[in-house]
A and B are shown apart, each in its own frame.
With several copies, the nearest count.
Chain A
Amino acid sequence: MTSNIWYTFIYKIKNDFPNIYIWLENANGYYDKNDNKFIIEVPDAFHKKTLDEKYKYELISILREILNNDEFSLVINVKPEPLFQTKKNNIPKITIKEKQITLPLETKINYIPNLNTAFKFDNFIVGNSNKFTHAACKAVAESPGQTYNPLFIYGGVGLGKTHLLHAIGNFVYEHNPSMRIIITTAEMFLSEVVRHINEKRMDEFKEKYRNVDLLLVDDIQYLKGESTTEEFFHTFNELHLRNKQIVATSDSPPSELKLEERLKSRFSSGIIADIQPPDFELRVAILKQKAKEINRVIPDNIIAYIAEYVDTNVRALGSTFKTLISLSDLNNVEISMELAKQAVKMTNPVKEFSKKISIDMIQQVVAEYFNIKVQDLSSKKRPENIALARQFAMYITRSLTDYSLVQIGQYFGGKDHTTVMHAIDKIEKLIEKNENYKVLLNELIARIQK
């Protein structure tokens, strides 16, 4: 029986001690709880000798970490010879390791991936804020499993993560149609696991997922449920061990995900690429591209206006752009600055107002309201009123701006993102329980937005 401990172990060995891994490739191991022994079975005495003499110390220290146990002993055995003695020529040896061979049946399982062919590398506009991620995706698509594996892409909503994920899929599918590609979302993965468990068809599920060459998972932050994460973890390990490419996207870096630690550390072991909101130049480029796609000429000043005011993400740019075009078409009027302002207002109502909301302003309003100094908000002081003010300020910053937890922590005196999370959590509970806090919050927001 190959246990999870063995997987974890061999995974670590493979990554960190390739020189030892070559001696363990055909080995198997398991932990014997009763005797508190970890037993590794190798194919022959030579392997045993090498491991015993050269690597036993390393093996023990790796296992100590995995087993979280200082007391166990490590035993390396040559895979037991069949215990059997046969007395007669004609009688075969029956060993424990006998294995029924399976027919190499091939079913035309539907491996045509569910890719959105509109998302290609060609129509992804590259700028400063996404060029690294774009390059990483391109490299992965060109040689899946060989360069950056796993590739983890994170960034805010509408910045093109899904576009890149499908672009990788489309590229690989075009260039290597025989490769088995699965593109899914964490939610689809979850519902698939649940369905297969219910129908007692997990074997099929495992066969499907563990035999792919490229696994693309969108919105991994939504992965949840014990059996689902367990299943994903094993799928991940098996694919990674066999050098199959895994790409996942998320709204935040692995470290901030609410996932199991072991899964986070798996993702952290590969390449992590973030997409930042587009800068002004990129926003202009995107709008120009959109205009080109529909063959419309839009004055540069109008493009600049939109690009300046719609600064959050690519999707918002797109919808503002579309609204502008519709307004023009429906009302049969020329595209003008007036129309552009209307379109921006319609599609980005809050954003337009909150446009100028900076952390500074939030801090100022909050400090004033609580009658403390602005610096106190970034200090480590803990008197109740200061702490509460700081938590409100963090909460409001998170609500009204696009800063990440990490960034907010930075702005508030280099605090950890967990501190920020805790603050947000606390305020959420406060306003839920006590009407007064809700009133206070609304008052603060009103003052900030004024």
Chain B
Amino acid sequence: MKFIAKKSEISEPLSISSYFIATGSTIPVLSNILFEVKKDIVNIVSTDLDISAKIKCKVQKIEEEGKFALNKKIVSTIKEFPDADIVFQSDKNDNIKVTCLKSEYKFISFPAEEFTTLQPEDKKLETIKLPQRILLNILNLVSYAALKESSKRNLNGVFIKFEGKNIEVVATDAHRLAFYKTEIKETVKTKFEYIIPLKTVNELIKIIKDDEEKFIEINLYDKVIEFKTENIEIISRIIDENYPNYKQVIPKDFIAKAIINREEMLSAVKRVITITSEKSKVISLKFEKNKLFISTAVQDEGEALEEIDIKYDGDSMEVSYNAIYLIDVLKTVKDDEIEINLVSSMNPGLIKIPGREEFIYIIMPIRK
């Protein structure tokens, strides 16, 4: 095996691949990175067995093909190399010599056959292709609402449903729920429902581009899901559990509705939250005619009161929320205005974009 790569060609792909390496795995080979040196391309593969990534690298010159796994230390080593040609070459023991100017490094290689990675099942159920920007948008709009801990496994991911031309995504931690649906150009034949682990979603968000022109291919299998861009292929296990019946908790009837400037509200909440106590980030929203008061008070420390002009002509109403849940949604949506729909201080609030139905955010109040 021998190939020559410029540092710029190989350093970033290696950095990306390092996201997917198992940390503290008991299977030693999993702390390695697999190199597949083919005729015209080098594939870099890494996995923690829940998710795996294959990154395709175009390099300067490939002189001999080969396949080997190297310790993940290679990532940091290459990062420290000068901007010059790096030669990768196997020796007679199949270990890999990496040279660059006067630096000479040797990596003990693991046999490629011992490198286990996540494989899709034989039967691909369906393929969907959509612009990367759309997927990025879908994931960004809901992923922050997913449960961060794995205490309830089925909530520790993003639910995604493909049905006809529709995609529906949901994430919830049982205190708030983000829902988004959109229509795509392609049509799936059957209905598919997956819970994609939050880790996978977060890595995807890092990797895919906010680009309308670049496409991503989603391959659906029974127990895994695959995402393919031009040069990265990610395979992830899905969470094999039932997702809660979210439709049932989306409230339908409200008695009051407020339209609020998003940025004004965001910056006010960000100020008020500084006064709340470490543990409970409770703030209070009081709606009055065309006015919103955002406030909090902590014993022996202080109080905050913000006033915002809004559109509201319901009765006075007061409701308490965890400020973080508000900030999360306010900084995610990009529209100028948001709409909050309310019933009472004990009922879920519903946030959406005025006049549009594709995005829904449910936030549960705090009872006092």
Contacts and interface: CB of A to CB of B under 8 A. Distances in A.
Query: Do A and B contact each other directly (Cβ–Cβ < 8 Å)?
Result: yes
Contacts of B207: none
B297 A101 contact: no
Most buried by B among A88, A94, A106: A94
Contacts of A174: none
A204 B153 contact: yes
A105 B174 contact: yes
Given A92-B296, A94-B296, A103 B368 contact: no
B366 A101 contact: yes
Interface in A51-86: 83-86
Given A105-B249, A200-B151, A84 B242 contact: no
A103 B299 contact: no
A98 B242 contact: no
Contact of B245 (A97, A99, A106): A106
B303 interface: yes
A110 B240 CA distance: 12
A83 to B, nearest CB: 6
Contact of B297 (A92, A110, A200, A201): A92
Given A84-B299, A91-B303, A94-B296, A108 B364 contact: no
8 closest A-B pairs by CB: A105-B244, A92-B284, A91-B297, A107-B244, A101-B364, A203-B151, A108-B242, A98-B368
A106 B248 CA distance: 9
A104 B297 contact: no
Most buried by A among B172, B280, B296: B280
A100 interface: yes
Interface size class of B (residues with CB under 8 A): 35 or more
B182 interface: no
Contacts, number: 111
A203 B152 contact: yes
A98 B367 contact: yes
Contacts of B249: 103-105
A224 B106 CA distance: 50
A100 B243 contact: no
A88 B303 contact: yes
Contact of B348 (A94, A103, A106, A200): A103
10 contacts: A84-B299, A91-B295, A91-B305, A94-B298, A97-B368, A100-B366, A101-B346, A101-B348, A103-B175, A201-B153
A437 to B, nearest CB: 45
B297 A204 contact: no
Given A91-B303, A92-B284, A95-B368, A100 B322 contact: yes
Interface of A: 83-88, 90-95, 97-110, 199-201, 203-204
Interface of B: 106, 150-154, 172, 174-177, 241-246, 248-249, 276-277, 280, 282, 284, 286, 293, 295-299, 303, 305, 318, 320, 322, 346, 348, 362, 364-368
Given A92-B297, A107-B242, 13 more contacts: A86-B303, A87-B297, A91-B303, A92-B296, A94-B277, A97-B368, A98-B368, A99-B366, A101-B346, A101-B364, A103-B175, A106-B244, A110-B242
B245 A105 contact: yes
B171 to A, nearest CB: 12
A102 B175 contact: yes
Contacts of B320: 92, 98
A105 B174 CA distance: 7
A103 B305 contact: no
Contacts of B346: 101
A199 B50 CA distance: 14
A397 B305 CA distance: 76
Contacts of B293: 90
A155 B295 CA distance: 65
A59 to B, nearest CB: 29
A91 B276 CA distance: 12
A84 B302 CA distance: 11
B178 to A, nearest CB: 12
Most buried by B among A88, A91, A200, A204: A91
A261 to B, nearest CB: 32
Given A84-B297, A86-B297, A201-B150, A92 B318 contact: yes
Nearest to A202: B151
Contacts of A90: 286, 293, 295, 305
Contacts of A104: 248-249
B361 to A, nearest CB: 12
A104 B296 CA distance: 27
A91 B368 contact: no
Contacts of B152: 201, 203-204
A199 B293 CA distance: 44
A98 B364 CA distance: 13
Nearest to B248: A106
Contacts of B245: 105-108
Contacts of A91: 284, 295-297, 303, 305
A90 B362 CA distance: 25
Contact of B305 (A88, A95, A99, A199): A88
A182 B106 CA distance: 55
A88 B320 CA distance: 16
A100 B293 CA distance: 21
